[in-house]
A and B are shown apart, each in its own frame.
Chain A
C-alpha cells in the first residue's frame, strides 16, 4: 500500500482526483499515503488473487480479475496474511 487510492478513506471524485474522507481535502489517487491511512479491500490485497501480468490476474485460480478492483463487497475476499 503506497498511494491514496489504496486507502479506505479515499473518496474518488473522478479518474484524476478524490477527497480524503478524514481531512476533506482534495487528493490525487497517486499521492503518497499519510500516517492515518488504512488499507482498503482490493483484489491485490486478497489471498485469493494471483497476479499474472500488468494489471491482470486471476481469482481463485479460475476467474479473470484485476488488482485494483475494490473488493469490499466481495464475499470471497480474504486479506493476505502478513508474515
Chain B
C-alpha cells in the first residue's frame, strides 16, 4: 500500500493492495461517445449576443409597462441567438452559441464580472457580496477557463470570453448600474434597520451569498405540460382568448401578463425556427447521406414544434429540452430539475413502441443524447456561487419512481432505460434520484442499485413518504391533498418540491403526468455557517479572523452549557431575521424588474390566474427557506464543549478560546495547502495544545449511535426546523428548514477558525447535513443511520447523508442485494436521503495527483455528481477524507 493510503479514513479493514475500479462498465453508443468526447474538449464559454439584444431592446422601451418590457427584451434575446448544431446531434439547441455556452445577465447583477479595478467591483467587495469569492477554490481542470490566455479572458475562474467581446460586456454592464436587481435591491435593503449587521454577516461568510439577484430561480421542478399538450401556437391562442376576457376589467395586470407571454413565445418560436433554418442549411452542404437525412429530420421536427404539439417521443423530448433551456435563458438559474421525465414522456414513448415506431436501441441513443445536452448546461455566476456553492454543477435532477396519482407505483420501462443510460453514458447531468417507496418494484430498485454501483454517484435514494409528509405539512394550508403530494419531485440537488398532475390528452386518452407547481423552493436565507455562528458566540459576537464585530455582545457569561446554547440560538435567530428581511427586498426587486415569464407560463396555475410566479400565480407559494451548513461540525463542537468544559470540567472556556485562536498548535489549512483535517501539520507549539486537542477529538461524535451527542443533534434539529416558521417570506408565508451543504462546507470552513470538536482552522466542515465528520463514524453504517434518524426528517425540506463505500463491498449480485437492504434499512428508519460514492479513495488520490488521466472520473459531492477535475481542491480533499466503508 502506498503511503497515501495511510491518510484515508477506513471503517472495517483496509482494502487489498491493488487500487480497485468500479464494477459495472457499459459503453455509450458511438454517437453519444463522440458527443461526450467533444464535450470533454470544450471549455466553458460565454458570449454577449443575448445580453446585448436584451439590453438594447430594454433601453428602447423606456416607459413601457415593466412586464411587457421584460417580454420584449427576452424576445429580442431569443430571436437573435446564433444557432449552433453539432455533427451527430439528435437533440438541438442550447443556451448560447457555444457547446458549453452561457452569458452574463447584467439585469440581475453586473458587478461581479467587472474588471477587479472597476469601481463597481470595489463597492461590491466592501458590502461583503464578494467575500466568499476570495475563499473559494475553483477546479483547475476539465472545461474551466481558469486563466486568461491569448485572445481569451477568464471570468470568475471558469468562463472564457473572447477579447473582442470584453469592451461590449463592460459597456452593457455599466448600462445596468443602479438598474439591476442587485443594485435596486441593495438600495432598498439598506433601509432595513439592521442592514449593517447584514454586511458584517456577509463579510464574515456566516452567510454565503444573497438570494434575490444571484440565482433567483431554480431548486424547483419544471412542468412541461402546456407545450406538450398545446404547442406554442396553442398557448398563444389560450393567452389571446384570455386577453379578450380580461381587457378593461379590474386586475389589469392579467392583461399585461398574457400579452407578455405571447411576446415571449414569439421570441422562442423564432429561436426554434432559426435552428430549423440552420439544420436545413447544414443538410444543404452535407455530403454524407445519413447525416444529411438527420439534419433534414431535425429541421422538419423543429419547424413542426415551433408551432404545434409533439407528434412522437422524439418530438416530445426535443420540446421538453427547448423549454428547459428557455427557462435557463431568462434568469441565472441552478437546480432547474426536469423532474419525472420518464413519467411525463411515457405516454408518447409507449404509443411509439406500440406502433412500432421506436425500439430499445433508438430510445437509448436518444436518452444518451439527452444526458449530453443536460451536461452542456453552464450557469454564469460569480466565483463564490459557481465554485463555492455549485462546484460548476447545475443540478438538473431527474426523478424516477415514486407513486402515481392513484397511489400505485409509478416506476415504468422508460425509467429502466433512463437508469440504463445513466450507466452506459456517465455524465454529471441529469443527476438521478430514486423516489424510494415500499411499493417500488424490486426489479426497478435493483436496477437503481446497478446504476449506483457503477460509481457515478447517482441515483441518490430519497424517501418518498417522508417527502410527502413534509409537503403536506408545508403546503396543506394552500390546499395540497395526499393525491397531489404524490406528484412531487426533487428540485435542484435535494429540495423537496411540490408538483401537480396534469391531464395529457393523447388520442382521446387522458394520462395524468406530474410536474412542478411552485416557483423556486430554495430561496430566502442561503447557507448559514453554523460553526461560524458558534465561533462568534464563544468570542461574544466577534469574528476573530478579521477582528470585526458581527453581532452585539450577547451578554452571557457562558458559565453553563444552557447559556452557550441560548447564545447560539440568539445569534442564529438574529442572522435569520436580518437575512430574511434583506433577501425579501432583493426578491421583491427581482419580481418587479425581472419577472419570470417562461417559467411562469409553464407553471400551473399562472396561465389560469393571469399572474406570474412572483405574483403568486403558481399553485404553491410557501417556498422560502433557511439553509444550514456544517450541522455535524456544530453538534460535535457543542458536544465537545459540553463534555470538556461543562460536564467533566477538563478545561475552562478561556483555555478553549486560546486553543482555538492558536489552532491547537497546528499550521492553518491555507498554510499546508490541504483542506482535510487528516493532512494538517503541527507547528512548533503543538505540544502546548496536544492534550486539549486530543480530548476534543475524543469527545463524543455524531454518527456512532451515541445518545450523548445524538441528543444534542435532535435538540438542534427540533429547534431549527421549528424556529424557521417564525419568519415570513416575501409572499407572507412561513419559511422552512433546508439542510444541504452543496459545496459551501469548503469555503465556509476556509474562513472558520479551529472548532471545539478538534477540527482545525480553514479545513472543511462536515458535508451534507447528517453525514458524520470524516473518520469519526467508527461503529459502522447502521450506527450512523441510528444517529442520522434521531430526529424526524419530515420536519425539514430535506436531510442529506453522503457515504463512501469501497467497490469490493457491493460486488456481484449478493453485493447488490446487501446494498439494497442497507438503503432500505435507512429508509425504513425514516431517513430522507442517502447517496454514495462507490470508489477506492486511493484512486481519488491518484486523480488529484494526475488529473489528466482522470478526465472522465465522476464523484458524488453533496446532492450532485461532478467531474473530479472540475472540483475545487477544498471539496476534493473533503471527498477523499470521508470515511470509506470496507464492510457493511
Interface set of A (CB-CB < 8 Å, partner B): 9, 11-17, 19, 21-22, 24, 29-30, 53-56, 63-70, 72-74
Contacts and interface: CB of A to CB of B under 8 A. Distances in A.
B282 A30 contact: no
Given A55-B164, A55-B166, A69-B49, A22 B285 contact: yes
Given A55-B165, A56-B167, A11 B56 contact: no
A63 B84 contact: no
13 contacts: A11-B85, A14-B42, A14-B160, A19-B86, A21-B282, A29-B151, A55-B166, A56-B167, A63-B56, A66-B48, A67-B164, A68-B164, A70-B49
A70 B43 contact: no
A15 B145 contact: yes
Nearest to A72: B82
B247 interface: no
B640 to A, nearest CB: 49
B98 A15 contact: yes
Interface residues of B, number: 42
B152 interface: yes
Nearest to B143: A14
A64 B160 contact: no
A64 B79 CA distance: 19
Nearest to A64: B171
A2 to B, nearest CB: 13
A51 to B, nearest CB: 12
Contacts of A30: 151
B160 A15 contact: yes
A64 B41 CA distance: 34
B168 interface: yes
A63 B437 CA distance: 58
A69 B38 contact: no
Contacts of B98: 12-15
B97 A70 contact: yes
A53 B171 CA distance: 13
B768 to A, nearest CB: 33
Most chain-A CB neighbours within 10 Å: which of B44, B79, B97, B168?
A: B168
A14 B80 CA distance: 19
Nearest to A11: B84
Contacts of A29: 151, 162
Contact of A16 (B80, B152, B166, B171): B152
Contact of B80 (A13, A68, A73): A73
A73 B79 contact: yes
Nearest to A70: B82
Nearest to B152: A15
Interface in B453-502: none
Interface string B783-811: 00000000000000000000000000000
B99 interface: yes
B526 to A, nearest CB: 30
A64 B169 CA distance: 11
Contacts of A13: 38, 41-42, 86, 98-99
Contacts of B152: 15-16
Interface string B163-186: 111111001100000000000000
Nearest to B96: A12
Interface string B851-872: 0000000000000000000000
B631 interface: no
A58 to B, nearest CB: 11
A66 B167 contact: yes
Closest 6 CB pairs of A and B: A15-B160, A66-B168, A14-B45, A15-B45, A14-B43, A70-B82
